């Protein structure tokens, strides 16, 4: 069955297993009828969902059914069961609440009495000090504790009454020489067993059971059935982590490891497929009715959608966009539990399936509630040093004047002195895609920085930010160069044109030449770009830079009228220059916007 999860053809797999139909619920019974179906394989996604495959030979009850006391909490439409024996047909799967007799170690006198029917005992009853009655001591045989069974309660209750557990009486029946005596259990002070006592007692309790009804083709049911089930459930995720060692000569040695967080179920010698990429699960927030519960069990912060750790490592391109640097200084959520240092088993072969890439870990053992660090891959890539300067747009003065003093301070912090950032541009010629993950960067065995690796497909290039390049000085100046009143009319209103010009002064104080990529984002329409700069313009209707996640924090501080989106757009001017040591350059540009 492993090949199905490895190739991740989930739709085809679900269709292959789609043979179930409704069936009658399993009858109440003892815990000896309950079977466990082992987990053979898990396909783990970075968002915390896992595609779980159970399969094996499990015990059947007297009717040839498989009754499981493990009930998953699958995503709607992802739960499928099947028979792996071609001679046995699965005719239905039922999830329901049933009474099950469970044996427990007896811990109290009433439990010991219930568990020792037929045993001879010496009873000591409490006396009555006020009536000066002494304690009574006598020998008897335990006949049992009267109770109304669940069947009796159902028979004598009004129609539609919810099923109940047996109702136990408060007396014990004792066989005496002169007859049968009913003694309130609360009056029994001590019990001396004259025969060897049984230390366990059985009591019924409600359990959520999963029953697989099987058709044995008219033959006698076997004591075991070869069955399986698959489902998608949240509670198991992997977090990738990179270690990038730079040799200073254009070669980077990368190591990828995975931190596995298991809050789903015990895993014993399973095959785990770690997936780069997240398929679209349309109903991932809706539980399947087979879960028998209205809401999913609460998991730790690593699985919460509003958590920083839950969203930080997804492969969505927009989530990789830094918004004016406010995330760079944000505090991360603290984890309550430390991950163990066990590196786990070695990783085997890898598979590729469409837009998803899979790392396979064999023989994984990880109990529920545990964490594990697993080495995944190790390879070399070529790189080169690139310096980048990204200058975002700021609000027009007309809008900024309407911000209060606190927002003015916040805006000043966000637009503080720009810095050229040193990046390592990795050329991915390996057989692995680079996935979004934290990356520890080292040179000559010493740490340089920790950055965020971004998704980079095989054959593509990706930038890993290292640190600010303090030896490259930046000075940006913008100024208004003119206004044209009534430059445009719209719906009976006139709008002025504001013309602006800017320059970016760069100085290389390093001892070697550097390649610098500069991007200047502007709010409005870009007009000119000197020094061979390239202009890219986007209208609001085009989406792109106007996407909600790309907008800066201050955008919601001002109520933008519809006229703004009618006339203005978003522009970007790009320069790629080589700056010799000790040299400077001025990058010039102009733009305009309409204001009403």
Q: Which of 577, 511, 5 is nearest to 279 (CA)?
A: 5
pLDDT band at 207; cut points 50, 70, 90: confident
Non-local (6+) Cβ contacts of 181 within 8 A are: 140, 173, 174
Which two structure tokens, joined as six digits, stand for 215?
């058709």
Decide: 127 and 151 in contact? Cβ < 8 Å.
no
**DSSP conformational letter for 325:** T
Domain range enclosing 418? 381-595
pLDDT over 50 (residue 189): yes
Give the whole-angstrom CA distance, residue 518 versus residue 571. Answer: 14
pLDDT over 90 (residue 453): yes
Q: Where are the alpha helices (DSSP H) in 319-421?
A: 397-400, 405-414
Which domain-ending residue is among 143, 171, 198?
198
Least confident of 235-249, 277-291, 346-360: 346-360
Give the whole-angstrom CA distance, residue 140 versus residue 147. Answer: 20
Distances (CA, A) of 274 to 4, 169, 232, 478: 14, 55, 14, 49
**In this structure, is residue 570 part of a structural domain?**
yes
- Which uninterrupted H or E stretch holds 201? strand 200-215
Give the whole-angstrom CA distance, residue 118 versus residue 142. Answer: 5
pLDDT band at 39; cut points 50, 70, 90: very high
**In this structure, is residue 452 part of a structural domain?**
yes
Tracing tokens 């050329």 back to the chain, one arrives at 427
pLDDT over 80 (residue 470): yes
pLDDT over 50 (residue 315): no
pLDDT at 596: 87
Q: Could you give the number of structural domains in the chain?
A: 2
Non-local (6+) Cβ contacts of 175 within 8 A are: 140, 141, 142, 143
pLDDT over 90 (residue 97): no
Q: Which of 256, 353, 250 is nearest to 313 (CA)?
A: 256
pLDDT over 50 (residue 313): no
Q: Which of 224, 202, 7, 214 is nearest to 106 (CA)?
A: 202
Tracing tokens 């009717």 back to the chain, one arrives at 63
Non-local (6+) Cβ contacts of 159 within 8 A are: none
Q: Residue length, the chain?
A: 596
DSSP string, 502-529: EEEEEEE-SSS-EEEEEEEEEESEEEEE
Q: Which string of b and e fits 296-330 if b means at least 16 CB within 10 Å?
A: beebbebbeeeeebbebbbbeeeeeeeebbeeeee
Give the whole-angstrom CA distance, residue 110 versus residue 302. Answer: 45
CA 224 to the chain's CA centroid:
35
pLDDT in tens, 351-395: 655 468 899 999 999 999 999 999 999 999 999 999 999 998 889
pLDDT over 60 (residue 72): yes
pLDDT over 60 (residue 42): yes
**In this structure, is residue 311 part of a structural domain?**
no
Phi, psi (rounded to 5 degrees) for 194: -85, -15
pLDDT over 80 (residue 4): no
Q: In this structure, how many other beta carbons lie within 10 angstroms of the beta carbon of residue 477?
A: 10
What mean pLDDT is predicted for residues 509-521? 95
pLDDT over 50 (residue 405): yes
pLDDT band at 344; cut points 50, 70, 90: very low
Report the phi/psi class of residue 70: left, alpha or beta, with left for phi > 0 and alpha for psi in -120 to 50: beta
The enclosing domain of 163 has a CATH number of 2.30.30
Which domain-ending residue is among 198, 222, 239?
198
pLDDT at 579: 95
Give the whole-angstrom CA distance, residue 437 versus residue 239. Answer: 7
pLDDT at 304: 64
pLDDT over 80 (residue 43): yes
Give the whole-angstrom CA distance, residue 552 versus residue 564. Answer: 16
Give the whole-angstrom CA distance, residue 588 versus residue 506. Answer: 11
**DSSP conformational letter for 392:** -
pLDDT in tens, 552-588: 778 888 888 888 888 898 899 999 999 999 999 999 9
pLDDT band at 23; cut points 50, 70, 90: very low
**In this structure, is residue 291 part of a structural domain?**
no
pLDDT band at 7; cut points 50, 70, 90: very low
Decide: 595 and 495 in contact? Cβ < 8 Å.
yes
**In this structure, is residue 564 part of a structural domain?**
yes
Instruction: Give the Cα-Cα-Cα angle 212, 217, 220 (nearest 5 degrees).
Output: 80
The percentage of residues in the chain with a pLDDT greater than 70, rounded to a whole number, is: 81
**In this structure, is residue 172 part of a structural domain?**
yes
Give the whole-angstrom CA distance, residue 124 versus residue 174. Answer: 13
Q: Which of 209, 212, 210, 184 is nearest to 101 (CA)?
A: 209
**DSSP conformational letter for 300:** -
What mean pLDDT is predicted for residues 76-105? 91
Tracing tokens 């995503």 back to the chain, one arrives at 75
pLDDT band at 325; cut points 50, 70, 90: very low
Decide: 311 and 319 in contact? Cβ < 8 Å.
yes
Which two structure tokens, joined as six digits, stand for 86?
């071609």
The percentage of residues in the chain with a pLDDT greater than 90, rounded to a whole number, is: 57
pLDDT in tens, 258-268: 999 999 999 99
Which domain-ending residue is among 198, 228, 247?
198
**In this structure, is residue 128 part of a structural domain?**
yes
pLDDT over 90 (residue 282): no
At residue 287, the 3 state secondary structure works out as strand
pLDDT band at 30; cut points 50, 70, 90: low
Greater model confidence, 412 or 176: 176
pLDDT band at 27; cut points 50, 70, 90: very low
pLDDT band at 279; cut points 50, 70, 90: confident
pLDDT over 60 (residue 400): yes
pLDDT over 90 (residue 549): no
pLDDT in tens, 129-183: 776 678 889 999 999 999 998 888 888 899 988 888 889 999 999 999 889 999 9
pLDDT over 50 (residue 430): yes
DSSP string, 539-554: EGGG-GGGSGGGS-GG
pLDDT over 70 (residue 339): no
Give the whole-angstrom CA distance, residue 331 versus residue 80. Answer: 42
pLDDT over 90 (residue 212): yes
pLDDT over 80 (residue 126): yes
pLDDT over 60 (residue 224): yes
Radius of gyration of the chain (CA): 35
**In this structure, is residue 399 part of a structural domain?**
yes
pLDDT at 351: 60
pLDDT at 463: 95
What mean pLDDT is predicted for residues 432-447? 92
The mean pLDDT of the chain is 83
């Amino acid at each position: 069955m492993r090949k199905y999860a490895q190739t991740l053809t989930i739709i085809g797999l679900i269709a292959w297993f789609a043979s179930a139909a409704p069936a009658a619920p399993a009858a109440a019974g003892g815990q000896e009828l309950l079977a466990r179906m082992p987990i053979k394989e898990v396909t783990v996604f970075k968002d915390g969902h896992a595609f779980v495959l159970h399969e094996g030979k499990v015990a059947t009850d007297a009717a040839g059914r498989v009754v499981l006391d493990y009930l998953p909490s699958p995503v709607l439409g992802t739960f499928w069961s099947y028979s792996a024996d071609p001679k046995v047909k699965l005719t239905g799967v039922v999830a329901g609440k049933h009474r099950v007799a469970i044996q427990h170690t007896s811990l109290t006198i009433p439990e010991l009495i219930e568990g020792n029917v037929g045993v001879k005992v010496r009873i000591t009853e409490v006396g009555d000090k006020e009536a000066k009655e002494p304690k009574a001591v006598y020998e008897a045989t335990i006949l049992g504790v009267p109770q109304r069974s669940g069947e009796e309660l159902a028979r004598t209750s009004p129609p539609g009454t919810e099923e109940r557990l047996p109702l136990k009486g408060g007396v014990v029946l004792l066989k005496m020489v002169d007859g049968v005596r009913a003694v309130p259990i609360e009056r029994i002070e001590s019990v001396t067993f004259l025969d060897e006592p049984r230390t366990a007692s059985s009591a019924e309790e409600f359990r959520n059971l999963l029953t697989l009804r099987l058709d044995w083709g008219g033959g006698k049911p076997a004591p075991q059935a070869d069955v399986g089930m698959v489902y998608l459930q949240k509670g198991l995720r992997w977090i990738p982590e990179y270690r990038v060692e730079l040799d200073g000569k254009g070669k980077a040695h990368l190591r990828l490891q995975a931190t596995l967080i298991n809050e789903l179920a015990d895993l014993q010698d399973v095959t785990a497929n770690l997936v780069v990429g997240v398929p679209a699960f349309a109903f991932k927030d809706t539980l399947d009715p087979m879960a028998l519960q209205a809401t999913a069990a609460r998991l730790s912060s690593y699985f919460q959608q509003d958590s920083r750790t839950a969203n930080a490592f997804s492969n969505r391109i927009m989530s990789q966009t830094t918004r004016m640097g406010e995330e760079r200084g944000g505090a991360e959520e603290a984890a309550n539990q430390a991950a163990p240092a066990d590196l786990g088993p070695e990783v085997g072969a890898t598979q590729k399936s469409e837009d998803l890439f899979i790392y396979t870990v064999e023989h994984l053992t990880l109990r529920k509630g545990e964490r594990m660090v697993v080495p995944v891959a190790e390879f070399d890539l070529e790189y080169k040093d690139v310096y980048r300067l990204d200058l975002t747009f700021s609000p027009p003065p007309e809008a900024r004047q309407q911000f209060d003093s606190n927002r003015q301070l916040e805006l000043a912090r966000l637009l503080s002195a720009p810095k050229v950032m040193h990046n390592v541009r990795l050329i991915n010629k390996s057989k692995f895609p680079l996935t979004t993950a934290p990356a520890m960067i080292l040179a000559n065995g010493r740490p340089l920085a920790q950055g965020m690796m971004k998704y980079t497909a095989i054959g593509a290039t990706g930038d890993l930010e290292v640190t600010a390049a303090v030896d490259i000085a930046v000075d940006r100046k913008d100024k208004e160069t003119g206004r044209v009143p009534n430059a445009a009319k719209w719906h009976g209103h006139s709008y002025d044109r504001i013309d602006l010009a800017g320059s970016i002064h760069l100085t290389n104080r390093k001892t070697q030449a550097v390649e610098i990529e500069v991007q200047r984002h502007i709010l409005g329409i870009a007009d000119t770009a000197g020094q061979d700069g390239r202009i890219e313009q986007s209208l609001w209707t085009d989406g792109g830079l106007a996407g909600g996640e790309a907008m800066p924090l201050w955008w919601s501080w001002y109520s933008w009228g519809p006229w703004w989106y009618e006339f203005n757009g978003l522009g970007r001017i790009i320069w790629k220059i080589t700056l010799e040591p000790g040299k400077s350059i001025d990058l010039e540009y102009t733009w305009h916007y309409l204001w009403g």
